[in-house]
């Protein structure tokens, strides 16, 4: 999913791999160009957020007084951040929650899941078809229960094709709510998938 990347790059001044001791992770020095590790799995990012050594190495300014002169430089997959903004970057990642669940054709007409709070912001959502439905009349729709808002409309999901169907539009909740996958399987005898929703809390 988008918005869940943490990059860790060794400074170009390092001459050997950098060990993040409390994680047991090694960031390669990259032969003078700086080596980069990209974390996209939510569990890996959660571990990184607990690391005091990562924060120390990303703010130690071991190679000068400039904003990108620490032993490790952190980023969000798009930009790298100066040492002064490391805590802001990590705090923003800490507030991300991924709600995931599986569904299949036997759970029609819908499956309700997840607890969303007033003020939560949905910043990414995807429906992944793992096993195709075998009735061309099948429709799937991802929605909010109380707000009656479609996060992913049926026209944007093809239940007859294995793949990931994605919506990156943000939705700020003004009340607590739940997620629901609406399943209209027709006469399907198979069909299954997974929903992943990224929330900033």
Domains of the chain as residue ranges with CATH: 6-94 (no CATH), 96-200 (2.60.120.340)
Q: What is the pLDDT of residue 60?
A: 96
The confidence score (pLDDT) of residue 101 equals 94
Q: HSE of 3 in the Cβ direction (CA atoms, 13 Å)?
A: 22
pLDDT computed for residue 35 by the predictor: 85
Query: What is the chain's pLDDT, residue by residue, as a tens digit (201 residues)?
Result: 545 789 999 999 999 999 999 999 999 987 666 789 888 766 788 888 889 999 999 999 999 999 999 999 999 888 999 999 999 999 888 888 889 999 999 999 999 999 999 999 998 899 999 999 999 999 999 999 999 999 999 999 999 999 999 987 889 999 999 999 999 999 999 999 999 998 988
pLDDT attached to residue 1: 52
Region of 151 please: left (phi>0), alpha (psi -120 to 50) or beta: alpha
Cβ atoms 72, 34 nearer than 8 A = no
């Amino acid at each position: 999913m988008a918005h869940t990347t943490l990059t860790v790059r060794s400074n170009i001044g390092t001459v050997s791999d950098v060990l993040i001791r409390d994680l047991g992770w090694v960031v390669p020095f990259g032969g003078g160009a700086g080596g980069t590790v990209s974390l996209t799995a939510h569990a890996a990012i959660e571990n990184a957020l607990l690391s005091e050594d990562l924060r120390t190495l990303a703010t130690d300014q071991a190679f000068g007084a400039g904003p990108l002169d620490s032993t490790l430089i952190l980023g969000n997959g798009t930009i790298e951040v100066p040492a002064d903004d490391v805590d802001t970057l990590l705090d923003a990642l800490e507030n991300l929650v991924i709600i995931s669940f599986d569904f299949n054709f036997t759970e029609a007409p819908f499956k309700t899941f997840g607890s969303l709070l007033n003020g939560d912001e949905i910043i990414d959502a995807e429906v992944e078809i793992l096993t195709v439905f075998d009735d061309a009349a099948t429709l799937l729709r991802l929605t909010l229960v109380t707000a009656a808002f479609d996060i992913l409309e049926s026209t944007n999901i093809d239940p007859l094709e294995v793949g990931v169907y994605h919506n990156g539009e943000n939705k700020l909740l003004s009340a607590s709510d739940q997620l629901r996958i609406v399943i209209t399987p027709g006469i399907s005898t198979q069909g299954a998938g997974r929903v992943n929703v990224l929330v900033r809390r």
